[in-house]
Amino acid sequence: MVLSAGMARGAMEWAEILDEGLKSAGMEQVEFARQATAARRTSDQHAMHLAELVHALHGEPGQAEVRLAFRFPAVDAKLPADAALVRKGGALPAAGTELLRLALERRGLALALCRLAGTGVDIAKARDLLTGDARVKPAAFEWYLAQELDALSALYSPERQGQTARARLLLGEAAAALAASGDSPEARSLANKIGEKLKAVGQ
């Protein structure tokens, strides 16, 4: 679930960088648009996989704790320098573009792990906490999942893919995760936002 969330968020960020660069890309506009479409397709695949996994999780018996049985991978949360060039419409060689795409997917995973660990963007602290045998309460993990699913629902907004059925799917799973996360001011605020988004997509 964490891997799917991170890869989806990383691919979505890559698409948004390409969208921004498209405005100034000149003769490369078609290529920028093609790559942005491919990035959103990748993000969509990971987001749908995440939704499937979360749905399956909610169909299983509850656990006393969630074990995060993995070590922090070799990923970096820093935005690659070449991203600024692409944002301004600059084209990279094919090999450079592929390296940037992969770097942004790894950044997405790094930031997802930081969010899971509750360390903001402090990757060093997240690495210290996620040692291969970290354990969190189910409510904390559900809170993490709700935030990821809510953020990824933006992938299907009218100005992006406009796929309301998929937006409803992610928001529905986000609401289910949120309901299992316990009551707090933050949870109530997010619940209100999710409710408004669900109304906007016809549910």
Reported as a pLDDT band with limits 50, 70 and 90, residue 129 is confident
What is the sign of the dihedral through the CA atoms of 66, 72, 75 and 77? positive
Number of domains in the chain: 1
Reported as a pLDDT band with limits 50, 70 and 90, residue 203 is low
Return the percentage of the chain with pLDDT > 90, whole number. 73
- In terms of C-beta density within 10 A (0-12 exposed, 13-18 middle, 19 or more buried), how is residue 95 classed? exposed
How many residues are present in the chain? 203
Phi, psi of 181 (to 5 degrees): -90, -5
Q: How far are the Cα atoms of 15, 39, 98, 111, 201 from residue 105, in angstroms, in the given order?
A: 11, 10, 11, 10, 28
* Alpha-carbon span 167 to 152, nearest angstrom: 8
Encode pLDDT of 44-103 as tens digits.
Answer: 999 999 999 999 998 887 778 888 887 888 888 899 999 999 999 999 999 999 999 999
Please tell me whether residue 20 adopts helix, strand or coil conformation.
helix
Encode pLDDT of 110-123 as tens digits.
Answer: 999 999 998 988 99
Return the percentage of the chain with pLDDT > 70, whole number. 99
Q: Using the predicted structure, report yes or no on whether residue 9 has a pLDDT greater than 80.
A: yes
| pLDDT, position 73 | 85
Range of the domain at 132: 2-200
Question: The whole model's pTM is what?
Answer: 0.91
Reported as a pLDDT band with limits 50, 70 and 90, residue 10 is very high
* Alpha-carbon span 178 to 170, nearest angstrom: 12
